[in-house]
Amino acid sequence: MERQVAVHAPPGYRSPFLDLIEGRESPNAMSRQSDVFYRDAQLTAFVSAARYSDAGGNALVVPNEPFENLYVMPDALLGDLHAFSKRLALAFKAVYGCDGVMVRQHNEPAGSQDVWHDHLHVIPRYKNDGFYATLPQKVWTTPEEREPYARRLRAYFAGTSA
């Protein structure tokens, strides 16, 4: 018997990612169009406005359609999302020279989800970066801090060098 999945988005909820996906700036969002480094018919990827360690340049990969979480996302799109996370992990290795990559995804409030639009966190990791030594605190960054990371990733996915 299939269990019903709870909906956590409040009535009338508009994902904060939609303006980025649709190519518009939002005065209320932390992320900017300059953060976007990849967009196709299914997915959009951008440098996150928040970072969780001293290493910057972590990214979010979102489906262009606002599915609340992985429970309700079509399997084919879920496959596209994870296949792109592999491409992005390889980009991080090439562009940032990181030692590893972490991919995280949260579902429901108990799973630490706080945006009701499924997304993957793709985070470059470095030897001895201490990520799990203490619970990483979210640090908000400026568009200027994120720009070099987005520019380098944009060049990578365009097949050019930054």
pLDDT in tens, 11-26: 999 999 999 999 998 8
pLDDT score of 82 more than 90: yes
Confidence of residue 2 (pLDDT cuts 50, 70, 90): low
Which H/E stretch holds residue 75?
A: helix 75-96
pLDDT score of 39 more than 70: yes
Q: How much is the mean pLDDT over the chain?
A: 91
Where helices occur in 2-159 by DSSP H, the ranges are: 18-21, 75-96, 143-158
**29 is written with which tokens?**
């969002």
Query: What's the rounded mean pLDDT across residues 95-119?
Result: 94
pLDDT score of 92 more than 70: yes
Beta bridge partners of 39: 44
* Percentage of residues of the chain with pLDDT beyond 70: 95
Distance from C-alpha of 139 to C-alpha of 119, rounded to nearest angstrom: 19
Per-residue confidence (pLDDT) for residue 55, from 0 to 100: 75
Per-residue confidence (pLDDT) for residue 15, from 0 to 100: 92
Confidence of residue 161 (pLDDT cuts 50, 70, 90): low
**pTM for this predicted structure:** 0.92
